[in-house]
Structures are given as C-alpha cells and as structure tokens.
Amino acid sequence: MTIHLPSVVEKQLRDLAKKQNRDIAELIEDAVRQYLEAAAITDVNPSQVAETQAKLLSELPPISKWDAEDA
C-alpha cells in the first residue's frame, strides 16, 4: 500500500522516528493502528450509545441502597 503524505507530515514522522531511534515503517504502522483503534471506539451510532447506557444503568444498585450505605 502506498500512502501519500504532505511533505511537512513526512518530515515530522521522519524526525520522530529518528528521535525515538525507530524504523520509519514501524512508526507509521503504529500511528495508523492507533488511529484506527481510536476511530473504531468513536465510530458508533446513537442507538449503540443509548443501548450501552441502558445496560450500564441496569447494573447500578438502586439509589436507595446508596443512601442506606451512607447513613
């Protein structure tokens, strides 16, 4: 696969690889992997968010139990 980057970004990647004493290909692979992982986490639709919130709420104890424990 070939990825074309602006020369400024390429220079930043090369400088970072040199600073970290890493191979440029390894650095780029890590950067792309981290980007994709972050995108996968935030790439949800609203129905998934609501469903997850409902599941989490059902796992919490009722508020009355919290009050009783604080007393």
Q: What is the pLDDT of residues 16-55, one digit of tens each?
A: 999 999 999 999 999 899 888 887 777 667 777 777 778 8
Number of domains composing the chain: 1
Return the closest-CA partner of residue 9 out of 34, 23, 33, 28: 28
C-alpha span between 26 and 24 (Å, rounded): 5
Helix (H, G, I), strand (E, B) or coil at 53: helix
pLDDT of residue 57: 79
- Residue 1 in domain: no
The band of 59, judged by pLDDT with boundaries at 50, 70 and 90, is confident
In terms of residue numbers, what domain contains 39?
Answer: 7-70
- Residue 20 in domain: yes
More confidently predicted of 67 and 28 = 28
C-alpha span between 49 and 52 (Å, rounded): 5
C-alpha span between 33 and 57 (Å, rounded): 32
- Residue 2 in domain: no
- Residue 50 in domain: yes
